[in-house]
Amino acid sequence: MTTLPVRALLLGERIERGRRESDRPIAASPVVLSVGGGQAVLFRYGAVVLFGVAPEDEAPFLAGLGDQIVDAVTPPEEERVTVAVDPAAAEPILPDGTMVLRELSLPRMLIVADVLAKSVLLAHYERRIAGVFDGIEPLARTLQRRGRRNARGRALLRQVGDVLMTLHQMVGRAEVTEKPDVLWDHPGLERVHARLAEEYELRDRSVALDRKLDLVSRTLQTLLDLDQQDRSLRVEWYIVALIVIEIGLTLYEMFLKPPHP
């Protein structure tokens, strides 16, 4: 039984690959490249999965991707796993986290890469949503204790913008619950993909993120509605004050202003 290290990284929002003469891709969708004695699988939504790439080869390869990374994630999300190749294996994941495959064929490698890439993407969004929760929790607590919010409208709009951007990126980048294209040509590997996706809880984590985003959206909408009500109330008081001033000036003109000689 042979083993090799696998490392998944989320480097940015997107990887915009240009065609280079030195590139000799093993596969095109997703792009698979030879890196030293290993392989790298690149996903357009910013993830890279390295199979058996030595550290001395990994560093220059990732540095070479620098100009192709859009909106770099700092620090990058990372997932490490050891893959063991055993022709007699039932392809489970062992208790120590080792991923066992019967062979490291290109289709199996693409399935492993797909699951790990989506896992680091989910980890990135989980961290972002946790940050949004940290931002709105004090607002919700103040609303609960005092019956009013103390956040200014502009700060709330920034929070709403962050949630909307997260939603847009989640929808537009990778459908984490979708099966990889390689299964269309290799339906016999469906069980391998299902086991890995279940092990990394891709569907459950995606559903949990959707629920959190919905809760954040509704919370911020409530706070924005309250902010709008406060603004409307202030405008009404301004109008009342102007009317009172106008009435006062009229009464002054009628009764208190000295007559002209």
End-to-end CA distance of the chain: 114
Beta strands of the chain (E only): which ranges?
2-15, 27-28, 31-35, 38-42, 47-51, 69-85, 99-101
- Predicted confidence at residue 152, as pLDDT, reads 53
**Position 227, amino acid:** D
pLDDT, mean of residues 187-211: 90
The band of 156, judged by pLDDT with boundaries at 50, 70 and 90, is low
CA distance 249 to 4: 87
Q: Read off the tokens for 254.
A: 């009628």
Q: Is the dihedral of CA 191, 48, 50, 80 positive or negative?
A: negative
- Predicted confidence at residue 227, as pLDDT, reads 67
Asked whether residue 246 is assigned to any structural domain, the reply reads: no
CA distance 11 to 14: 8
Asked whether residue 260 is assigned to any structural domain, the reply reads: no
Q: What percent of the chain has pLDDT over 70?
A: 76
pLDDT in tens, 110-135: 999 999 999 999 999 888 888 777 76
The band of 26, judged by pLDDT with boundaries at 50, 70 and 90, is confident
Asked whether residue 117 is assigned to any structural domain, the reply reads: yes
pLDDT, mean of residues 170-183: 76
Asked whether residue 252 is assigned to any structural domain, the reply reads: no
Q: Is the pLDDT of residue 56 over 70?
A: yes
Domain interval for residue 212: 2-223
Q: What percent of the chain has pLDDT over 90?
A: 31
Exposure string over 135-146, b if 16+ CB within 10 A, otherwise e = bbeebeeebeee
Q: Which residue has the tokens 């002054």?
A: 252
Asked whether residue 249 is assigned to any structural domain, the reply reads: no
pLDDT in tens, 62-106: 998 888 898 888 889 999 999 998 888 777 777 778 898 888 899
Asked whether residue 237 is assigned to any structural domain, the reply reads: no
Residue 231's φ and ψ, nearest 5 degrees, are -65, -45
- Predicted confidence at residue 138, as pLDDT, reads 66
Q: Tell if the pTM clears 0.75, that is, is over it.
A: yes
pLDDT in tens, 213-224: 777 777 777 766
The band of 257, judged by pLDDT with boundaries at 50, 70 and 90, is low
**Pick the residue with more confidence: 143 or 36?**
36
Asked whether residue 253 is assigned to any structural domain, the reply reads: no
- Predicted confidence at residue 169, as pLDDT, reads 64
pLDDT, mean of residues 30-56: 92
- Predicted confidence at residue 89, as pLDDT, reads 77
Asked whether residue 200 is assigned to any structural domain, the reply reads: yes
Q: Is the pLDDT of residue 21 over 50?
A: no
Q: Is the pLDDT of residue 173 over 90?
A: no
Widest Cα–Cα separation across the chain: 116
- Predicted confidence at residue 201, as pLDDT, reads 92
**Position 71, amino acid:** D
pLDDT, mean of residues 157-180: 69
Give me the number of domains the chain comprises.
Answer: 1
Q: Read off the tokens for 195.
A: 């086991």
